[in-house]
Amino acid sequence: MARVAIVTGGTRGIGEAISLALQKKGVTVVANYAGNDAKAQEFTDRTGIIARKWNVGDFDACQSNIEQIEAEVGPVDILVNNAGITRDGTILKMTYQDWKEVMDVNLGGCFNMAKGVFLGMRSRGWGRIVNVGSVNGQAGQYGQVNYAAAKSGIHGFTKALAQEGAKAGVTVNAIAPGYIDTDMVAAVPQDVLAKIVAKVPVGRLGHADEIARGVTFLCGEDAGFITGSTMSINGGQHMY
């Protein structure tokens, strides 16, 4: 029987690439999304991948949707916590709501989703959780104290949860993308983006499918000895 995966934020950008890459590996994918119904429907029509709408920052919504997916599709073997939002601004301009929304979705979503699938993975003796962090969670970024804090928290969350799942065959890893040519990066002013690319040793933005290949590797049947790790895919922008 095919493995079942949930990919949050899975209908656009990096999430779409991850959903498609897992599908190509024979995984049955359910893609979560939060906003654009028309684009989600187009994604499903084009790919055949189920798209379900809920806010990963809402704990109860995560639990109820996981329960429904497991009842309708099957036990969730793979979870990719990819959903993320930005509410950028310096701390002098950032509102508490800007802070809270980013923390609730980007970091809280990882907890909410993992909470719903972790027991089942442990009981079946197999599971793969991959959390999508960011180079800005590793190195920081001006005007992103909320985003950088949430993404940095993902890396600590990954290491701690990995220790809880290791003996039960559940691995927990993270991917830390650099700047990728998605809609989120396209929203960055061109002059700012040019300065960012100038600091990337390989001299370009990354591609979503490059992140997806890293995720599918960590989700593989033969990746059981890799846990608590962060794979940086950033063109050499941040090395440590």
Domain over 4-233 is classified CATH 3.40.50.720: yes
Indicate the domain borders of the chain: 4-233
Q: Please choose, from the candidates 133, 130, 226, 237, the residue with its C-alpha nearest in 3D space to the C-alpha of residue 177.
A: 133
Q: What is the mean pLDDT of residues 160-187?
A: 92
pLDDT recorded at residue 196? 85
For residue 166, name the pLDDT band (cuts at 50, 70, 90): very high
Asked whether residue 183 carries a pLDDT value surpassing 80, the answer given is: no
For residue 186, name the pLDDT band (cuts at 50, 70, 90): confident
As to burial, measured by CB atoms within 10 angstroms (0-12 exposed, 13-18 middle, 19+ buried), residue 45 is exposed
Q: What is the mean pLDDT of residues 50-61?
A: 98
pLDDT recorded at residue 51? 98
pLDDT recorded at residue 98? 97
Catalytic site positions: 147
Asked whether residue 192 carries a pLDDT value surpassing 90, the answer given is: no
As to burial, measured by CB atoms within 10 angstroms (0-12 exposed, 13-18 middle, 19+ buried), residue 106 is buried
pLDDT recorded at residue 193? 84
Mean pLDDT score of the chain, rounded to an integer? 95
Residue 53: CB atoms within 10 Å: 14
Q: Please choose, from the candidates 46, 53, 10, the residue with its C-alpha nearest in 3D space to the C-alpha of residue 29.
A: 10
Token pair 């804090």 is found at 149
Percent of residues, the chain, with pLDDT higher than 90: 85
Asked whether residue 148 carries a pLDDT value surpassing 90, the answer given is: yes
Q: Higher model confidence: residue 6 or residue 197?
A: 6
Cβ atoms of 56 and 34 within 8 Å: the answer is: yes
